Structure 1
Amino acid sequence: MIATKIGKKSGVPDNYTRLGEYIAAAEEKGEKLHQFWIRNCDAGTNIEDLDLALLEIEAVRRQKPDIADKTYHLVVSFRPGDQDKLTTDDLMAIEAEYANALGYADHQRVAGTHINTDNFHMHIAFNKVHPETLKVVTPHRDFKILAKVSREMEKKYGLAIDPGMTDGKERDPNKLSPAARNYESHTWQESFQRHVLKHRKQILEGLKKATNWQDVHQVLAEYDTSINLRGNGMVLISPDGQAMKASQLDRSCSKNTLEGRFGVFEARREKAQGKSKRRYKPRPLVRHRKTLTLWRRYLNTRKTLHRQPSLTSRALRSWKMFLLIETHQDPLATVLIIAHQEFLRTAAYGAKQSRRGPKNINLIS
């Protein structure tokens, strides 16, 4: 099991109702709702009660108008085969264990499990505002809490084990975070973190030579990356707003270490000069020798539809959705779908099989 907190995106309003409807609808292509339940709402506990439950939850949240982030969105991903071991009661018990550990036992929430071709997973949307005390609860060091509960649930229900960062093993510097894996799973496009880790050696060599914060900004800008404060730490940020903890690049890039070298953090004083050495831009995770033709068609389609917003343009917001739609008229799309699914399966679970995927399919270099 891998439990991942999906953080609020900068500049995007916190919309609990939209999230609750998403969980109930299982909107992703090829995805369907497996189980659904509601907790701590007078409106009821079933999917038929969702509309009233969301109104009830929003009524509580409106009493905290000054709080921008009032939702804790948790996704729990299971390994292949785990679904068959778990009953509905088991799934609800697992959800309750995460709620108790995070301090949300008495909080309103909706939860549901989804089935798709990639994996079996559970969404839990907690209202961070307590329905009676109106206290806003934000768990501290929740990644440790999530890892602890995951290991306990794996043992209790006989599930496959996914060792986490807190299990006493040295972290693989090239391993993607759950958030980056989630991005790639939903878009089939290279995540910002993969882009950064691909140039890890060069970035670290540049940072070793830095003597102040402005040098740090210049080194990172060469790889289309910026750095800023967030919470109690630092994050690396892509041009399109994706973020990763700076310490995920290397432990030497933690806030304490960098401020120990260069003093209190300083924002960049001027824009980078010239072009980046290695730009981060959308690109597919894997490619066939003819992928470029399909990729250009996807980009052109997005550009055209962007000028005419519609439901179709929203559906084509990712390479994954484009390929799934294209299968009706282009056999190559089907080949690429198989390749992406194989790549993601291998990357996520470390299967002992070739990372090249099907014949004639290669990773982007």
Structure 2
Amino acid sequence: MIATKIGKKSSVPDNYTRLGEYIAAAEEKGEKLHQFWICNCDAGTNIEDLDLALLEIEAVRRQKPDIADKTYHLVVSFRPGEQDRLSKDDLMAIEAEYAKALGYADHQRVAGTHINTDNFHMHIAFNKVHPGTLKVITPHRDFKILAKVSREMEKKYGLTIDPGMTDSKERDPNKLSPAARDYEAHTWQESFQRHVLKHRKEILEGLGKATNWQEVHKVLAGYDINLKLRGNGMVLTSLDGQPMKASQLDRSCSKKKLEERFGIFEAQQTKPRGKGGQRAKTKHHYKPKPIVRHRNTAALWRRYLCNRKHLPIKPSWKARALRNWKIFLLTEAYQDPLAMTLIIAHREMLKTFTIEQHKAPQPSLNESNNFRERYHKFL
């Protein structure tokens, strides 16, 4: 089961009566009301009492005229067939658990289940204004609350488990961020984040021995890493400006954790130096390299670097394109079979990391000729 809060659109006024009538009528095409009940209203608990109950709820809501959003609309979706395993009492008990967890146990609400749609689901319309105290309750981080209750109800009633985004999972410390993956996809070069994570263990060992901010900067400088403040957090940046969150290296490297150890952040004062005043050596430089390695990659890579070195200060669009290893290979593939080999190797590597169910066909001579024809048209 999946519980989802339906947020209020800024352009649509808050209309609880309209929502209550929708839940009771099940107006969507092919939709049919399955069960219906009302809670914490003196008017009653059944569908026959809806009109009076809505008037009662609106009377409470009018006591808070300055509040624009006074409705919490929750939709709980079930798997097909589960409606046959849940009685009305079960559904009411599930709804009551959500109400209790969200802080709405004593609040007025209208609830109903709908069938004959793509999936069996339950609507719950909570009045956020407490009928006694008139306090307006808005749950904090409710997505975690909803996920927790959903897992508990699935186990209690033997329903299909639908793991949510908040379920505890071990975070893969070597997983690249979307920005780093995009960089590698567009350039076919090693991203700065991959460089950092490659030396993650050594960096963390060095940071663990640091006693102040300057020692932290010295450790990071050994890997071509700068530490800077950005917004409310910290980022690690490369010499060419690629950033990554400091917490992506490790949770202990977040701004909060580091300032607990070393006090308020201090920027790097001088270039790190070793013994005798000599500039400290960088242990591992960050130099973008081809992701795909081939026994003849080095020759093409040297040619690529040479071309970049001799680009004019104000390059043409073609020269700017050649600053990218991927575009360079596409350009060279028109006349250099080795470049075509690397492109095919890169494509095969990508297939290895996809979830394709069938094996893709191997590149053929016709496929290579088609590529050359497309590239010729591009030029």
**TM-score in terms of structure 2 length:** 0.48
Bigger radius of gyration: 2
Higher relative contact order (CA 8 A, sep 6+): 1
